[in-house]
Amino acid sequence: MLLKDERINNEKNGSTRGCNDQETKNKNVKNGSPSVSDEHDSLINDIKDETTRICSEQNSKNQSEKMAALGQLAGGIAHDFNNQLMSIIGNATMIQKTDDIERIREYAERIIHISQSTANLTKKILMFSKRESSINKPVNLKSIMDNTYNMVESILNKKIELSYSYQASNKVILGDEAQVESMIVNLILNSKDALDDSVGKIKIGAEDTVIFSETVLSHGEMIKPGNYIKVYVEDNGKGIKEEVLNRIFEPYFTTKNKTKGTGLGLSVVFGTVKSHSGYINVQSRHDIGTLFEIFLPVYVKKEKTKSETERDLNSNIIMLVDDDINVLDVETEILEDLGYDVVKFSEPAKALEFYNSNCNNIAFSVIDISMPVMTGRQLYERMQIKKKDAAAIFITGYARQTDYEELTRKGAVIIEKPFTYEDLSTQIAKIYM
């Protein structure tokens, strides 16, 4: 690099002399040596080649870092999954080997508990990959922030002063409780790292905010006018350098050492904000501190139509649609145990045909969102052609964000797989609330 810089400086000096000294230029041409113009073009090409090489090396380095982080993440996931699968298989095997009802019940409870733990691990994987489609429902933001404050306060270094203030008049947002909690925790931990465990202050809170006109935020995004709850996390740490600020939401980008982070935290925060139709703004000054502001739309409760309020509660027939036969059979048994007469389908087209002929006799439908040929959302939209206020509970292991958003906008009840007997019973009750 030093040689290149010397060459650039010498060339600049030589070019200046050449432009001012026609005699020198003519002499160079007569002798057959390269003209200043030729040397200038050659230099530009050399610089381009060098820039391309540096960029290529940097891209390779970034890709290697990403792959290393993914490899580390995958290794941890595989370890946890294998342990949990071992526990499930072991307990299931013991059920096969015993006739003791109490022991069978104990093994079954273990399997349920381990399966729920595995489901939570899956959620974390999807969140890290920024592909998780949150099941947004009305949740109490104040309760989430209260619990988060109490949890984090107990684990922070005593040198760090954590203060909390919830001033927003609205408490309810449309969101995913676990994701919102994780988002706030990530921001607090980011502030903690900025303080480097030394004496400092972190402030968290929420307040009402009205945006009257479109406004450009820190990362060039335009926030739309409307009523928001602004959640903020502020610290008086070392701040973020200006040249770094534009990259903080990039996956795997981090200025921390390997012991403090992989660079996934703030990218997960950004993904969560987007999945909640929110916006994020960052203000930071080096060696003074950083302020993260998250704008979440205020939840407006949808009023029920007269037909929804007067829904026939005497009908006991449920239409169940799921393309996975094994899951379909289990869901049928759960619903029948709850006292319903179940008509089940593994093909949405056949379910639609049945619904069009029997819609007035069906209390509600339970529909898987992710199905080939015709998705659960598409099936529901065609059911609404026949009966606009068709009641449905949607179940899913993973679905596209657009499906979630559209169904949530229509006030649909959505439940994630794997779900328990009690989960399904609770969601069914909501249809009649």
Of the listed ranges 198-202, 215-219, 255-259, 397-401, the one predicted with least confidence: 255-259
Give yes or no for residue 163 having a pLDDT over 80. Answer: yes
Per-residue pLDDT, 228: 95
In the chain, ranges of CATH 3.40.50.2300 domains: 306-431
CATH homologous superfamily, domain 306-431: Response regulator (3.40.50.2300)
Q: What percent of the chain has pLDDT over 90?
A: 21
> If pLDDT is split at 50, 70 and 90, which confidence band does 342 have?
very high
Q: What percent of the chain has pLDDT over 70?
A: 67
8 A C-beta contact, residue 369 and residue 380: no
Report the chain's mean pLDDT, rounded to a whole number.
76
- HEC-encoded secondary structure of the chain: CHHHHHHHHHHHHHHHHHHHCHHHHHHHHHCCCCCHHHHHHHHHHHHHHHHHHHHHHHHHHHHHHHHHHHHHHHHHHHHHHHHHHHHHHHHHHHHHHCCCHHHHHHHHHHHHHHHHHHHHHHHHHHHHCCCCCCCCEEEEHHHHHHHHHHHHHCCCCCCEEEEEEECCCCCEEEECHHHHHHHHHHHHHHHHHHHCCCCEEEEEEEEEEEECCCEECCCCCEECCEEEEEEEEEECCCCCCHHHHCCCCCCCCCCCCCCCCCCCHHHHHHHHHHHCCCEEEEEEECCCEEEEEEEEECCCCCCCCHHHHCCCCCCCEEEEECCCHHHHHHHHHHHHHCCCEEEEECCHHHHHHHHHHHHHHEEEEEEECCCCCCCHHHHHHHHHHHCCCCCEEEEECCCCHHHHHHHHHCCCEEEECCCCHHHHHHHHHHHCC
Per-residue pLDDT, 153: 83
Architecture of domain 137-297: 2-Layer Sandwich (3.30)
314-327 pLDDT, tens digit per residue, is 568 899 999 988 88
> If pLDDT is split at 50, 70 and 90, which confidence band does 33 have?
low
pTM: 0.48
Per-residue pLDDT, 337: 85
Q: What is the mean pLDDT of residues 398-420?
A: 72
In the chain, ranges of CATH 3.30.565.10 domains: 137-297
